[in-house]
Amino acid sequence: MKLSELFKRETLSLSFEVFPPKTDTAFESVKIATEEIAKLKPSFMSVTYGAGGGTSRYTLEIAKNIKENYSVPTLAHLTCVSSTRETVLAKIEEMKSMGIENVMALRGDLTPELENSDREKWAYRHAVDLIRDIKESGADFCIGGACYPEIHPESENQKLDIQYLKEKVDAGCSFLTTQMFFDNNLLYNFLYKIRQAGITVPVIPGIMPITNANQVSRAIKLSGSFMPQRFKSLVDKFGHSPQAMKQAGIAYATDQIIDLFANGITNVHVYSMNNPDVAAKIQANLSDILG
Ligand code: FAD
C-alpha cells in the first residue's frame, strides 16, 4: 500500500521506526524485534538505512518480511550522499523487484571523511538529487522526505531550509517526516511557516520516547533538539533509575502524541528503536484514542 493513500484517512494512527542490524550476527535478534513491533499492527513501519550503506541490504530484507508476513505497509529508507549513481540506481531496481512501494529519500549524515572530501566529486549532494533520480528511473514509489522543525543543523537559517524543503517536495515528495522534537509548539510554528511557503503535503511528526538518561545527550547531539525545562526536570529526577526513566519517558512521549492528535494531526511516527516493549506501551496508553 502506498502511504499517500494511508494519509488520506481521517482516523488517528501510529507508525513505528526500526533500524537494521549493524552486524550480520545481530540480524536474527533485530528481525525478531521488528516482528514483535509488526504484530502491534501499526499503520506502517519504516526501516532506516545504515549510514554509508553499511548493512543496507538488511533494510530491504526487513521491510519485505514485515510487509509480506505481517501485512504492515513499510517505508524503506535510502541515503545517497556516500553512494555512486550506479549503486543508487541498482538499489532502486532492487527495491522495485522486491515490491517496495514506499521510499524515504535522504541525503544521509556527513561523515568526517566526507566532510573533508571534494564536494564537486560527489554524485549526490542533497536529497533532492536522489528524489530526481528516483523519478527519472520511472519507479512508481511513494516518496517521503525528511524535515526539521528546529532547522537542519547545517542550515544557515530557517527561511533557506524551508526553501530547499519546498524544492524537495516539488521534485516528488508525497509526504514529509519530521526530526524528533520535545516541544510541540516548535512543530506547530514550523507547520505554519511551511504551509505559508506553499508546502501542502502531509507532515508526519516524529516522536522519540527517551527511555534512558544516556539517550538524552545523544539525541540532542544528533538532532540539535531543544529540551524543555519540563523534560529536563524529568531526566534530573528519574534519570538514575532505568525503570522510572523508562516509564517517565514513555509518559512524556504519550503526552506529546495526545496533544498532536488533539490539535488536528492524524498520523504520528514513533522512533521506537527496535524496542517492542516501548512501542507496545505507547500504543496501549492510546488504546481508546487510536482509530
Ligand atoms: P537534505 O534535504 O539534502 O538537506 C541537508 C542540508 O542541505 C539541509 O541543511 C538543507 O537545508 C540543505 N539543502 C537541501 N537542498 C539543498 C540545495 N539544493 N542546495 C543547498 N542546500 C540544500 N540518516 C541515515 O543515515 N539513515 C536513515 O535511515 C535516516 N533516516 C532519517 C529519517 C528522518 C525522518 C530524518 C529527519 C532524518 C533521517 N536521517 C537518516 C538523518 C539524515 O540523513 C540527516 O539529517 C542528513 O543530515 C540530512 O538528510 P536530508 O535528507 O534531510 O538532507
Ligand 1 center to residue 279 CA distance, Å? 25
Ligand 1 center to residue 106 CA distance, Å? 5
Q: Which has the closest alpha carbon to 161: 209, 206, 201, 193?
A: 193
Q: What is the pLDDT of residue 50?
A: 79
Instruction: Read off the pLDDT of residues 152-161 as tens digits, 9 standing for 90 and up.
Output: 999 999 999 9
pTM of the model: 0.97
* Nearest-angstrom CA–CA distance, 209 and 213: 11
* Nearest-angstrom CA–CA distance, 270 and 278: 10
pLDDT band at residue 225 under the 50/70/90 scheme:
confident
- More confident of the two residues 13 and 82: 13
Ligand 1 pocket, residue 49 CB under 6 Å: yes
Dig out the grid coordinates for 174 from the structure. Answer: 508525497
Ligand 1 pocket, residue 107 CB under 6 Å: yes
Q: What is the pLDDT of residue 53?
A: 46
Helix (H) or strand (E) holding 243: helix 242-262
Contacts (Cβ under 8 Å, ≥6 apart) of 188: 263
pLDDT band at residue 213 under the 50/70/90 scheme:
confident
* Nearest-angstrom CA–CA distance, 222 and 248: 22
Which of 57, 74, 91, 106 has most ligand 1 atoms within 8 Å of CB, for mutation? Answer: 106
Ligand 1 pocket, residue 206 CB under 6 Å: yes
Q: What are phi and psi of 233, to 5 degrees?
A: -65, -40
Angle between helix 184-196 and helix 242-262 axes, rounded to 10 deg: 40
CATH code of residue 56: 3.20.20.220
Q: Which has the closest alpha carbon to 124: 110, 104, 140?
A: 110
Give the residue, by CA position, lying nearest to ligand 1 atom 3. 126
Q: How far is CA 202 from the centre of its chain?
A: 14
The catalytic residue positions are: 17
Q: Which has the closest alpha carbon to 177: 119, 240, 248, 127?
A: 127
- 246: number of CA atoms within 13 Å, CB side? 10
Give the residue, by CA position, lying nearest to ligand 1 atom 38. 146
Ligand 1 pocket, residue 122 CB under 6 Å: no
* Nearest-angstrom CA–CA distance, 51 and 48: 9
pLDDT at 221 over 90: no
pLDDT at 51 over 70: no
The predicted model gives 95-108 an average pLDDT of 96
Q: What are phi and psi of 178, to 5 degrees?
A: -90, 155
Ligand 1 center to residue 83 CA distance, Å? 14
The predicted model gives 42-63 an average pLDDT of 84
| Residue 226 structural domain | 3-290
| Torsion on CA atoms 79, 149, 272, 233, rounded to nearest 10 | 140
* Nearest-angstrom CA–CA distance, 207 and 46: 13
pLDDT band at residue 97 under the 50/70/90 scheme:
very high
Ligand 1 center to residue 173 CA distance, Å? 13
Ligand 1 pocket, residue 269 CB under 6 Å: no
Split into its structural domains, the chain has a count of: 1
Ligand 1 pocket, residue 79 CB under 6 Å: yes
Ligand 1 center to residue 254 CA distance, Å? 26
Mean residue pLDDT of the chain comes to 94
